[in-house]
Chain A
């Protein structure tokens, strides 16, 4: 009977169920420039080169993404040794592996179901890893207590950030959650806000003052947003991505005071916490500053901070490891958070194991300590050198002005574009800096991300480039960039 009805009653199958018109409109609004059109074109060009197509360059240099290993950085030996043992425990009998490697692997495996890294972990993350993370935070913050129950392992920091935003996203129309983000920002934030249908509330960093954060700008932005939404979250990236600034302690204190006064939930993206290069700069965690401000603040400001295995000296992006620490979260909401993360079962266990090693690295006296320190220091000092080098070379180019790269892995120089190139870009329906970056890619093989993908003050143009290529390659890249910029300026003047 039903079949009969359907054969005669249903519309003929005219088109697809899922089309650009019928799909989730919020997904359409998502933009993620770091892997956007420029990068897709770069991949295409790589293929063309492989197929023997002649280009004015021999290889594509991907300076678009903070992917250290792809740029030739070697993994930390100790980390990979422990990971290999966790993966293939028969190696525990191999005398080529040092004792501290074996001890770490044994400890991690003992807290996995069936002693296997192939078992699901609890959704919040492996118990002993959460304890180690809490101990690490406590050490880092000069003894301020950290509770393992407040630690959630994540699938990279991105996962944690999206999860917290998901909790906070509510209301309709004027009561819709507003999320305050810095401009320029890391586009994960704008992408997640678009996908969730929340309201993006921009506050602008001060380029003239080395991309510092200005409280009066926060105030302005909040006030303006209150006209049309309910701003309830403030996101901070420190050290800054894409802008590379390191926030001063005073500035963090001001932000916390502001959040307390305005009842804002704080999200502190601290994935670059080990990447501080500039003299006089130091990483201060939001948690530490919050607790140093006294119980009036430390017992009330809601804070989630994020860390990851992908950055710092590890650069282990592929493992998708990370954690977040939530402070002052309502216990009922925390139960809801735990429930929400349980739907995805658990973060990848290898990423959790790796996170454990980052927070519980070899100690003085352990057999791997010396090698570990040597590798770590070499990477961090090379990064510091490259940060300096990038700033210096870029600032010698007329029409490019680059703030010091105090931390993180990127420079975000401002570029002056000739009027004619701006018009040509607009005629093509492209952002002027997209036009610039596309041309750079086609002519030099250098892949950067246009500033418009991160947000910038109107009428200003930038690009983001990583400082990750090896020093030689970075020099070549910067010189090519210099030549290109001069040529471009000439061509369009």
Chain B
């Protein structure tokens, strides 16, 4: 039987762990505190329980429900998504408590748990909003307060919409002229590497595209079940999707000591080990990294592509942070471009899908749920199946498609709005670079916190030292130690960050993910509070009081 290597035990064998808990649960009466300890941590349980108590469950004589924890789809039960998990639910509760006049040692909750730029006060890019507003209410075309280049773009988008309305369904792969603009953008970004607009599919945020491609790939039973290689730490959309589809999660560990770099030997190790119990068919890469903020070197990308070529792996490259590169010695290289430069043998054979989104970069338009994917070398029959699958959901939101269009087709130097657009863009990216630096510096000044440089993306993922006494206490509570840490941080300071265990980490290491998105002033305050908290926490649990 396959025995996972020790360092994978922190994430565990998902199936066996969950099965164990599920079995346990069905035997326990639902009011015992341990009763909901399936895939969510015990921390979550107490929130659910209190919600249940306040809901005042009716008497036990009710008809057995059709849909209960026992009859629920077990794959759904296995899904975990820490970015909006127990910590965030708790933060919401505290926010409401404060609103209702309750007192806490702080006056507001700062949500540094999610890459939501506008919620942190970032202003939208004027030009993007002008174009989308014009598309939404075309009567504004007559208004002198909107610039001509915005009107021109809006007209062009509307001409691509049925009945010239943003309210009609688009073709399921997206509005044709937007797909063409995206292809042109990719070609320009990749310095002439050709991009075919028919390979472009608009999506409902990048998440939707990632799920769709995984859905195509997941097949087989037992040892032929699709294995999906994902980095650890990872963005938990991947593990959640894998759970939901009952695929096999294959972890490869990023090298924290080497600025979270991807080590090709580790890919080989993970792949070899996984082959014993599943069929690894996909490798997922997040570059720039989420939650880890590293930017992959060109050489490293080449190695990954060569590996995928050799081992017959389908490559999924999550490049939603492609505009978020801050470190002066780093540069974003698209997987597509590197693949092209490796020569026709690679470029004509490696199956690659890359993902982009309106939610990150300098626009931060998360609410629009815009995104696209480009599929390279996909079997034409499979592509037809992909189109069919997308068509069931009809189409991605049109406002998101329009926003995506502005991102790939921004004002040009000769256009009227170029100056303002460029100013806004640089100011957002400049501030992010500054905050990336600031976060790293302040965190590294705290004893017991060690933070790699935030080369790109929007997060710091510092390693935190948690004293053994705190680890024991957490274990006694049935909680991950970094969950205990983050819950305490939230309760004492109002700062909401996500424990490293939600992303995966090497056994006996602890981290949290925080965004670098708050304004500089707020970020300074936040980091100061984290520092004070950490020192207090160390003292408390090291018996130095």
Contact = CB atoms under 8 A, between A and B. Distances in A.
Interface in B234-249: 236-237, 240-241, 244
A95 interface: no
B309 interface: yes
A336 B394 contact: no
A332 B30 contact: yes
B416 interface: no
Contacts of B365: 118
Contacts of A339: 40, 79-81, 84-85
Interface stretch (B129-137, B254-262, B332-340): B129-137
The residue in B80, B396, B400 that gathers the most chain A C-beta atoms within 10 A of its C-beta is B400
A260 B167 CA distance: 39
A116 B241 CA distance: 28
Contacts of A36: 388, 391
A120 B116 CA distance: 6
A113 B217 contact: no
B307 interface: yes
A174 interface: no
A479 to B, nearest CB: 23
A348 interface: yes
A84 B133 contact: yes
A34 B165 CA distance: 20
Interface string B520-543: 000000000000000000000000
Interface residues of A, number: 106
Contacts of A167: 67, 72-73, 76
Interface stretch (A135-143, A152-160, A281-289, A482-490): A152-160
A191 interface: yes
Nearest to A16: B379
Given A72-B163, A84-B140, A317-B169, A114 B119 contact: yes
Interface stretch (B49-57, B100-108, B294-302): B49-57
B329 interface: no
B492 to A, nearest CB: 24
Contacts of B124: 116, 118
A350 B310 contact: no
Contacts of A280: none
B389 A30 contact: yes
Contacts of A121: 367
Contacts of A31: 388
Q: A34, A70, A94, A168: which has the most chain B beta carbons within 10 Å?
A: A70
A23 B171 contact: no
B367 A349 contact: yes
B213 to A, nearest CB: 9
Contact of B68 (A67, A156, A333, A340): A333
Given A20-B382, A75-B165, A348 B66 contact: no
Contact of A18 (B68, B76, B378, B400): B378
Contacts of B313: 17
Interface of A: 1-3, 5-7, 10-11, 13, 16-20, 22-25, 27-28, 30-32, 34-36, 43, 65, 67-73, 75, 80-81, 83-84, 87-88, 91, 94, 112-114, 116-123, 155-156, 158-159, 162, 166-170, 187-188, 191-192, 195, 232-233, 260, 263-265, 299-300, 302, 314-320, 328-333, 335-336, 339-340, 342-351
11 contacts: A3-B268, A20-B385, A72-B163, A114-B119, A118-B363, A119-B117, A119-B119, A120-B366, A156-B393, A263-B64, A331-B57
